[in-house]
Amino acid sequence: MKSRMACGAFWRQPRDAGPVLAKRWPASLLVDTTAIEACVNSSILTSNHHSSRARNLILLIGDGMGQAHRFAGQLFAAGREGRLAMDRLPYSGQMGTMCVDPSSFVTDSAAAATAIATGVKTCNGCVAIDPMGQERATILELAKASGRSTGLISTCQITDATPAAFAAHVPMRAAQSEIARQYIERARVDVILGGGAVHWYPDGQPLPPQLCWDAPWVGAGKEGDLVARAGFNCKVGTDASYNEAKLRMEDLEQLVRGGSVSPPAANPDAKWDKIADRPPLMLRLETAQKEHLGPAMANAGAFRKSADAVLREAELIAAIGEVIGQEGFEFADDETYLGYAHQMRDAAREIVGAIKSNDYDTARAASGKLEKACNECHEGYRS
């Protein structure tokens, strides 16, 4: 039976407690079993023994390592009466990581790492998702939310189940490209070091020579060029953008207090890629489609009832379609991608015209074009 043990800081999450994210996945195996608490066997860990606090935390995990492995290492390195470095630490604790499937006597890395990362036991194969298919917040995500920098380092594939359980949520551990995408676009992990480059490059694309030691390799990814996307994401969040955000926050506070603000002077030389980031634009586009256009196109009555909201959303979609094709944006030099962006823009403009002429059939047809362009673009250029 595979288990996990780490020395250092431990925490206890009561049953059914802890932060829960809203998104739900179909778990690979749903069982009527309550998530069991992650327990600590030493009461001294709850006391404030030292007055100073650690500034950083590094969690080291020996993948598949249990007590028997530790004792074997002790016999080899220090002898029967010797002690390993981890045995000389001031505190120690244990936690159970057995999967919740009552028919399984073997725990895989996904279930074990999920128990460590979230404090909730789950099914084999599930990564940071509980037995009911619900995402559970991880200690890395909590650290990130508190303003700390985070990182993942592995001697194997960085998208393998053990590191993945700290920064991704998938129902099956084999979805390594999706795990990689979540690292850079959801968890926003600051440092990522490890193997498995094939999952970061598009299927069939040759890998850079410096990543191929013995023979040429090609990508096996399903989420586009994640290396390029990660590099693009590094361009945002600069000191300049932080300072601008801080100024806008001060403006907002002034407005809340009942005052007024002077908008910054327009910069005719400003470029869109310096003003907006593509992933949030894609998220806003998805919201416009699913929450406004989709319901409004159900029938003529819904179309007429929500005409004003649909007009606003269609105009916004048309603007996004124009902006994301501007020079400097990711994929803006890809003709296929530009084609999708222009199809989306043109379809949104058709919807705007149909709303103004109260033409439901034309609006619905244009909405179908828009959805088709977005879906096809999503398959190859997901953000």
Q: Are residues 145 and 25 in the same domain?
A: yes
Residue 189 confidence (pLDDT)? 93
Q: Which two tokens stand for residue 156?
A: 């194997």
CATH code where residue 290 lies? 1.20.120.10
Domain-located, residue 3: no
Please check whether residues 368 and 316 belong to one and the same domain: yes
Whether 7 is in a domain gets the answer no
CA 69 to chain centre: 33
Q: Which two tokens stand for residue 255?
A: 């407005």
Residue 287 host element (H or E): helix 278-288
Q: Mark whether 63 and 191 lie in a shared domain.
A: yes
Whether residue 373 contacts residue 343, with contact meaning beta carbons closer than 8 Å, is answered with: yes
Task: Kindly report the number of other CB atoms within 10 A of residue 373's CB atom.
Answer: 21
Strand-strand pairing, 20-24 and 151-157: unpaired
Per-residue pLDDT, 329? 76
Would you say residue 295 lies in a domain? yes
Q: What is the pLDDT of residue 87?
A: 86
The per-residue pLDDT for 379 is 75
Residues 28, 80: contact at Cβ < 8 Å?
A: no
Asked whether residue 177 is domain-assigned, the answer is yes
CA distance 136 to 314: 35
Last residue of a domain, one of 219, 234, 249: 234
Half-sphere exposure of 234 (CA within 13 A, CB side): 10
Q: From the first residue on, what is the mean pLDDT of each consecutive set of 10 residues in the chain (383 residues)? A: 33 35 38 32 42 79 86 93 88 88 91 96 96 94 89 94 97 95 92 92 88 84 85 61 67 75 71 68 81 88 89 90 82 86 92 92 92 83 60
Q: How many domains does the chain have?
A: 4
Q: Which of 224, 247, 265 is the last residue of a domain?
A: 265
Distance CA(73)–CA(78), nearest Å, equals 8
Of 166, 195, 224, the last residue of a domain is 195
Q: Which pLDDT does position 240 carry in this prediction? A: 58
Q: Which residues contact 333 (CB under 8 A, 6 or more apart)?
A: none
Which run of H or of E encompasses 279?
A: helix 278-288
Question: Do 109 and 61 share a structural domain?
Answer: yes
Output the six-digit token pair for 29.
């195996």
Q: Which residue, chain included where needed, has tokens 């909590």? A: 142
* Residue 181 maps to a domain: yes
* Token duo for residue 285: 């586009």
pLDDT given for residue 41 in this prediction: 34
Do 115 and 137 lie in one domain? The reply is yes
Residues 366 and 244 in one domain: no
Name the β-bridge partners of 102: none
- Residue listed under structure tokens 């001031």: 90
Nearest CA to 341 out of 323, 358, 368, 321 is that of 321
Q: Which residues contact 104 (CB under 8 A, 6 or more apart)?
A: 124
For residue 373, being part of any structural domain is answered with: yes
Contact of 70 with 140, CB cutoff 8 Å: no
Residue 378's pLDDT is what? 76
* 225 in the same domain as 90: no
* Rg of the chain on CA atoms, in Å: 25
CA angle, corner 163, sides to 330 and 28, nearest 5? 95
Do 60 and 167 sit in the same domain of this protein? yes
Q: Is 109 a catalytic residue?
A: yes
Residue 319: phi and psi, rounded to 5, are: -65, -45
Looking at 109, 154, 177, 383, which residue is catalytic?
109
Contact predicate 272/326, CB 8 Å:
yes
pLDDT score for 273? 65
What whole-number distance in Å separates Cα of residue 295 and Cα of residue 289?
A: 9
The residue segments making up the domain with residue 243 are: 235-265
Kindly state whether residues 218 and 321 are assigned to the same domain. no
Q: Are 330 and 259 part of one and the same domain?
A: no
91 assigned to some structural domain: yes
In a domain, 33, yes or no: yes
Per-residue confidence (pLDDT) for residue 238, from 0 to 100: 55
Angle at 314 between CA 297 and CA 316, to 5 degrees: 150
One domain for residues 143 and 258: no
pTM of the complete model: 0.53
What DSSP assignment string belongs to 144-166? HHTT---EEEEEEETTSHHHHTT
Record the tokens describing residue 49, joined without a space.
Answer: 């023994």
If asked whether residues 229 and 203 sit together in one domain, one would say yes
Hey, what amino acid is at 116? I
What pLDDT sits at residue 5?
A: 33
Distance of CA 210 to the CA centre of its chain: 27
